[in-house]
Chains A and B, each alone.
Chain A
Amino acid sequence: MHEMSLCEGMRLIIEEQAQAHKVDRIARVRVELGRFAGVEKDALSFAFDIVMRGSVAEGAELVMQDLPGRAMCYDCVREVEIENRLDHCPFCGGGKLMPIGGDEMRIKDLEVA
Chain B
Amino acid sequence: MCTVCGCGESTVKGHSHDHHHHDHLHFGHGPAGVEVAGMSQDRLIEIETDILTKNDGYAQANRAALSGLGAFAINLVSSPGSGKTTLLCKTIEALGDQPLAVIEGDQQTENDADRIRATGAAAIQVNTGKGCHLDGHMVGHAMAHLALPQGAMVFIENVGNLVCPAAFDLGEDCKVAILSVTEGEDKPLKYPDMFTASRLAILNKTDLAPHCDVAMDLYEANLRRVNPDIEILRLSARTGEGMQAWIEWLRRNLALKSEVKAAE
B-binding residues in A (CB < 8 A): 1-6, 8-9, 12-13, 36, 38, 47, 50-51, 53, 74, 85-86, 95-99, 105
Contact = CB atoms under 8 A, between A and B. Distances in A.
B198 interface: no
B53 interface: yes
Contacts of A9: 50-54
Contacts of A53: 46
Given A5-B36, A38-B167, A86-B225, A99 B196 contact: yes
Contacts of B196: 85, 98-99
Given A2-B49, A5-B51, A53-B46, A95 B225 contact: yes
A13 B54 CA distance: 10
Nearest to A10: B51
Nearest to A55: B43
A38 B228 contact: no
A97 B196 CA distance: 10
Given A2-B48, A74-B228, A95-B225, A13 B36 contact: no
B80 interface: no
A4 B48 contact: yes
A96 B228 contact: yes
Interface in B48-99: 48-54
**Secondary structure of the A contact surface, majority rule:** mixed
B163 A8 contact: no
B207 interface: no
A85 B226 contact: yes
Contact of A1 (B163, B189, B225): B163
A40 B217 CA distance: 33
A8 B37 CA distance: 10
B38 A4 contact: no
B164 interface: yes
A9 B226 CA distance: 29
Contact of B49 (A5, A96, A97): A5
Given A9-B53, A74-B228, A85-B192, 13 more contacts: A2-B50, A5-B50, A8-B36, A8-B39, A8-B50, A9-B52, A9-B54, A13-B53, A47-B48, A50-B46, A96-B225, A98-B227, A98-B229
Contacts of A4: 46-49
Nearest to B227: A98
B193 interface: yes
* Chain A to chain B: the 6 pairs with minimum beta-carbon distance, closest first: A4-B48, A9-B51, A5-B49, A96-B228, A85-B192, A74-B228
A2 B131 CA distance: 11
